[in-house]
Structure 1
Amino acid sequence: MTANALAMTIQGAVDHVKQNPSAAQATYKAKVLLDKGVQCSAFVRKFPAIILDEPPNLGGNDAGPNPVEVLLVSLGACQEMVYAIYASMMGIELDSVTVYLKGHLDVRGFMGEEGVPPGYQEITFETRIESQADAKSIEALIRTVEACCPTMDTIRRPVEVRGKAFLNGEPVVAV
């Protein structure tokens, strides 16, 4: 899709939401199945399974990225998509955008050590943009992307997470 076509598509979506505020609400769904060992198959919409696994040193067969790697991929991909969308809306032509990400994690938390969080302690990224646009326009684009990226917002802001567990169809514990 060309930048102009993308801008027109997004503007159509913006106009639709302005005219129909209830259309702004979206719910995304996924289903994940434990296959064998620690390998999982994740299903989203109509797409083939996404295989997630752990490396051998964490009990896996390395058949796919692990969940914390997918979190990094999700953040980078979301940033790149938001760059494409807003660049098209702002009339900025991008030659390329590449996001390099690192997540720093202490596996002792995953292994149950008290006082050590099991998740990332820090996520860092570096975005490399190639464009003929002036620095001021790119800086405005960067600020917009960092303010509007849904995955970035979800990671930075506390989000309520609730769940339920069932054993043979009967509720066991609320998470």
Structure 2
Amino acid sequence: MSDPYQSLFIANQQALAAQPEKAVVNFSVESRGEDGLHRKVRIREFTVDVDEPLGLGGSDKAASPVELALAALATCQEITYRLHAAALGIPLRDVSVQLQGTLDLRGFFSVDPEVRPGFTDIQGTVKFDSSASQDALKALKESVDRHCPVLDLFRNPTPVSIAIA
């Protein structure tokens, strides 16, 4: 039985190769305050709550932005694993990613100008439910590490311009 994502992946590859001008897509979000540090983020037709833990001034009503960044990386990795496994013909019943990021709050709270406000490192593990060989899973990991959009955001500085409205 073929993987249902294999034909999707191949069809997208072929379509984007034939019409590269259609390959560039834009994503957008809009965030607004609820109360205190609690925010509501509109993403297409979805709403996501964001907050900070009590110890950082929030009301602990939702995950924090840095936790959501880790969640974005973990889920993007899992999705990329799923699609690239299908494209490579690697049997993959399921995949899970666990991540932990270290943050030095001195950067966020402007205590030390030498300390960056973002993660100093992120470490994790990926677990496969697969009958594939270790060599195949290693090749899959290399493909995912090259093509995961959120991993690319963490590894490579992306130009960001935020203007005052």
What TM-score results when the alignment is normalised by the length of structure 2? 0.95
1:111 aligns with one of 78, 85, 109:
109
CA distance, structure 2, for counterparts of residue 133 and residue 5 of structure 1: 17
Paired AA for residue 42 in structure 1: V
Q: 1:75-125, CA deviations, whole angstroms, 9 ceiling, x for partnerless residues?
A: 000000000001111111113211110110011111111222111111111
Q: What secondary structure sits across from 2:31 in the alignment?
A: strand
Partner of 1:158: 157
* Number of aligned residues: 164
Write out aligned runs for 1:164-175 (5 A).
Answer: 164-166=163-165
Letter in 1 for 2:34: D
Residue of structure 2 in register with 1:96 after alignment: 94
Structure-1 residue corresponding to 2:61:
63
Alignment match, 2:80: 82
Paired with 1:3 and 1:85, the residues of 2 have a C-alpha distance of 13
Distance in 2, matches of 1:30 and 1:14, equals 27
What's the CA shift for 1:4?
Answer: 2.2
| Contact 1:39–1:51 (8 Å) recurs in 2 | yes
Give 1:3 deviation, angstroms: 6.2
1:3 and 1:93 in contact (8 A); partners too: no
Q: Distance in 2 between matches of 1:8 and 1:96?
A: 18
Give the whole-Å Cα distance in 2 for the aligned partners of 1:32 and 1:52: 9
Q: Take 1:89 and 1:67, find their aligned partners in 2: how far apart are those partners? A: 32
CA distance in 1, matches of 2:62, 2:2: 32
Q: TM-score by structure 1 length?
A: 0.89
Cα distance per residue 1:22-70 (max 9 Å; x no partner): 01111111111121100001111112x1000011111111111000000
Runs of 4+ in 1 over 6 A off after TM superposition: none
Partner SS for 1:165: coil
The answer to whether the 8 A contact 1:103-1:124 is kept is yes
Q: CA RMSD in A?
A: 1.3
Q: Does 1:139 align with 2:122?
A: no
